[in-house]
Amino acid sequence: MTHTSSVGPVADAGPTEVIERAAEAELLEAALLSGAHVLLEGPPGTGKSTLLRQVATGRRIAFVMVEGNAELTPARLIGHFDPALVLTKGYVPDIFADGPLLEAMRTGGLLYVEELNRIPEETLNVLLTAMSELEITVPRLGRVAAAPGFALVAAMNPFDAVGTARVSGALYDRTCRISMDYQTAEAEQEIVGLRTRDIDPTWRARVVELVRSTRDHDDIRFGSSVRGAIDVARLSVELARLRGTTTDDWHVGLAAAKAALSGRIRLHDGCDRTPEQVVTALYVAVFGAEPSESDRDPASDSDASPGSPGEP
């Protein structure tokens, strides 16, 4: 289990501008100012973490982030006494190492839990107590009350059923829910533009179109987020440099798309194609067929390597 924290402005973690999320940012800030806890729901790559970082930075409040997974036990969330010092000092408060929950409570900060629906039920119960009572009782340490400003903001992808658990109604009853779906094509093009350099806008738009097409394909259960488009663009730039060609080279784009997207999509059970084959089909639909294919001698197709550049 890992967690990060900061007090005041959040440490730079790359571009933090939230594109096309003004309404969600306003709603999140209003919820936190009202003292509510918040649940951000949406697919990966829709800006949930970036949105919260922006709000926390603007309010200059402590921010503690923890990754939700099966290893996030109550002890790791709350904290623990140093075993070595217990032998010499006993269970005294000054040898207790705060976990992310107590760190956020003591500082009156935000506790951000990613992938909430992946944490164990007993850990979720600890969070519910802290949310409801604004205090918890830790064995041998005693009562810990939350400082003013403490709030839980949790995020989860409600569409991912692998390795997740159903979130109870008790949590929904204690949170304000903000739904975050994919942004528009124009917004995603702007996001990719912020994270890449020297990319032709027309070609970048087609990369975004490719990635967005993974979200409504008959063979695909879950498509790629905008992170896939960012990686396709970045890979294309570097691969073109290594091959001594241009970024918009058809073969460069296909290789980058297969590498960036084949692991991000999830196919329906029973699909008889590989992720690479599905990505290739989508790539052809957006970027067109392989250049010069119509000029080839059909008799030589069986001898040619698919996707090899410069085949006459």
pLDDT at 3: 62
pLDDT at 58: 83
Residue 131 burial (CB < 10 Å; 0-12/13-18/19+)?
Answer: buried
15-71 pLDDT, tens digit per residue, is: 446 788 899 999 999 999 999 999 999 988 888 988 888 888 887 888 899 999 989
If you average pLDDT over residues 265-283, what whole number do you get?
96
Which is nearest to 156 in space by CA: 288, 67, 285? Answer: 67
- What is the residue extent of each domain of the chain? 3-179, 185-298
pLDDT at 144: 95
Which pTM value belongs to this model?
0.78
User: pLDDT tier at 160 (50, 70, 90 boundaries)?
Assistant: low
84-133 pLDDT, tens digit per residue, is: 887 788 878 888 999 999 999 999 999 999 999 889 999 999 999 999 99
pLDDT at 76: 94
If you average pLDDT over residues 235-241, what whole number do you get?
96
233 phi and psi, to 5 degrees?
-65, -45
312 has a pLDDT exceeding 50 = no
CA dihedral 297, 303, 305, 306 (to 10 degrees): 50
3 phi and psi, to 5 degrees?
-150, 155
Calculate what percentage of the chain has a pLDDT beyond 90. 64
Beta strands in the chain (DSSP E): 3-6, 37-41, 63-67, 79-81, 96-98, 110-114, 135-138, 142-145, 151-156, 175-179, 220-222, 266-267
Q: Which CATH architecture describes the domain 185-298?
A: Orthogonal Bundle (1.10)
More confident residue, 12 or 136: 136
For 3-179, which CATH superfamily applies?
P-loop containing nucleotide triphosphate hydrolases (3.40.50.300)
pLDDT at 296: 45
Calculate what percentage of the chain has a pLDDT beyond 70. 86
Q: Whole-number mean pLDDT of the chain?
A: 86
pLDDT at 57: 83
